[in-house]
Amino acid sequence: MQVLENISLKPYNTFGINARAKFFAELHSDNDIAAFFSSLTPERMPFLILGGGSNILFTKDFEGSVGCIRSKGIVKLMEDDSHVYLKIAAGEVWDDVVKYAVDHGWGGIENLSLIPGNAGTGPVQNIGAYGVELKDVIYSVEVADVIARHYRAFRPADCEFGYRSSIFKKKAKDRFIITGICLKLDKQPVLKLDYGDIRQELKNAGINRPSISAVRDIIIKIRSRKLPDPSILGNAGSFFMNPVISADDFARLIRQFPLMPSFRSGDEIKIPGAWLIEQCGFKGKRFGDAGVHGQQPLVLVNYGSATGAEILALAEKIIGSVNRKFGLRMEKEVNIF
Ligand code: EPU
């Protein structure tokens, strides 16, 4: 492992923010991770672990050590009649993992196609799209415990998975570094086609008996139409989470705003933040190089040279506006540094 000094993080975050790290190292193996922690003398603290950099907004330089996980490897651990268990290194690009599974005919993650980021950061925010969440297919999460200085594995029941949330994002933030994940995939895939336009899109494409590969292609088509490609336009996917409120609160709101869309989420009601932001007039708006995406207003974008502080200021403006109009609080999904 080589520790570099005063490195621009622009290539390491999908928002393309030009913040600098005082110390920086790429970590290609468990040994590199151990070496990184040994390198953390007091003057090299604090530390930050980066995966694909797809859920982070830098608002200033990082005056400590950044470790960027780059470990690779997908291994079939075991299989039985119905399932295959894949061990995946944290540094694998998530969509490469989806492609690998789909190419082998193993089902479960095809709806999570094209989500930016790495395999190891997936559990942190329990990535989800089109009716599937990572928690549905996770068998275990392998971590390095920074405090106890050992390696261990979490079973899903201990991960406290919720909507875009987990123990790794909340209670155990900064304690565990995810070094790998194990997925349990179906050898006889069960397709999940109920979200939004998936069925209609398959029908439009003339596909009557879809395979997981056809589902992957359709999801890629829908996502590419609605969501900006970070390699072209800097962004971190949904910047906000959708507000989740009680049925009573929703009953009050819908009297005032009869056109408000909603989705059931267990006993609660999820309101599309995209609609709230659109109603406040921000859809497609641009303020300097910081903007709100024109097809999906939950996504904030960097048109080139926006600073993290400018993107954050836009986010706060949106939060204030939605709060004044609807009395709802939009929570940020992206990590702010
Ligand atoms: N909508 C609008 N205006 C728009 C776009 C959407 O009013 O311009 C409303 C519509 O009512 C639409 C609803 O928002 O039915 C939902 O839109 P969409 O299906 O795009 O989903 P979302 O709730 O906005 C979530 C995830 C996305 C994920 C999609 C698809 C969150 C925070 N975001 O978005 O995840 O791709 O569902 O499953 O839950 C991400 O986390 O980075 C991400 C992109």
- What residue ranges do the domains of the chain occupy? 4-69, 74-186, 234-336
**Is there a common fold for 4-69 and 74-186?**
no
Compute the distance between CA of residue 133 and CA of residue 137 in angstroms, rounded to an integer: 8
Looking at the CA of residue 196, tell me the nearest atom of ligand 1.
19
Ligand 1 pocket, residue 196 CB under 6 Å: yes
Ligand 1 pocket, residue 284 CB under 6 Å: no
What is the structure's pLDDT at 58? 98
Indicate if the alpha-carbon torsion angle 291, 120, 272, 198 is positive or negative: positive
What is the structure's pLDDT at 196? 87
Active-site residues, by number, are 164, 238, 333
Two structure tokens written together for 325: 């109009």
Compute the distance between CA of residue 152 and CA of residue 155 in angstroms, rounded to an integer: 10
Two structure tokens written together for 48: 């930050």
What is the structure's pLDDT at 34? 86
What is the structure's pLDDT at 90? 96
- 192, 296, 326, best to mutate for ligand 1 pocket (most atoms within 8 Å of CB): 296
Using alpha carbons, select from 8, 18, 4, 12 the residue that is nearest to residue 306: 18
Which architecture does CATH list for 234-336? Alpha-Beta Complex (3.90)
Q: Which residues of the chain have pLDDT under 50?
A: none
What is the structure's pLDDT at 146? 84
Contact indicator for 204, 105 with CB cutoff of 8 Å: no
Give the H or E element holding residue 317.
helix 308-326
Ligand 1 pocket, residue 55 CB under 6 Å: no
Contact indicator for 115, 94 with CB cutoff of 8 Å: yes
Check residue 243 and report its DSSP letter: P
Ligand 1: distance of its center to the CA of 327 in Å?
A: 20
Ligand 1: distance of its center to the CA of 296 in Å?
A: 7
Helix axis angle, 94-103 to 212-226, nearest 10° = 150
Ligand 1 pocket, residue 333 CB under 6 Å: yes
What is the structure's pLDDT at 247? 96
Compute the distance between CA of residue 185 and CA of residue 138 in angstroms, rounded to an integer: 9
Ligand 1: distance of its center to the CA of 121 in Å?
A: 20
Q: What is the pTM of this model?
A: 0.93
Ligand 1 pocket, residue 308 CB under 6 Å: no
Ligand 1: distance of its center to the CA of 274 in Å?
A: 6
CA 274 to chain centre: 17
What is the structure's pLDDT at 174? 83
Ligand 1: distance of its center to the CA of 224 in Å?
A: 13
Class of domain 4-69: alpha beta
Nearest CA to ligand 1 atom 16: 272
SS3 assignment, position 38: helix
CATH of 74-186, one of 1.10.10.60, 3.40.50.620, 3.40.50.300, 3.30.465.10: 3.30.465.10
CB-hemisphere CA count at 13 Å for 109? 30
Contact indicator for 245, 269 with CB cutoff of 8 Å: yes
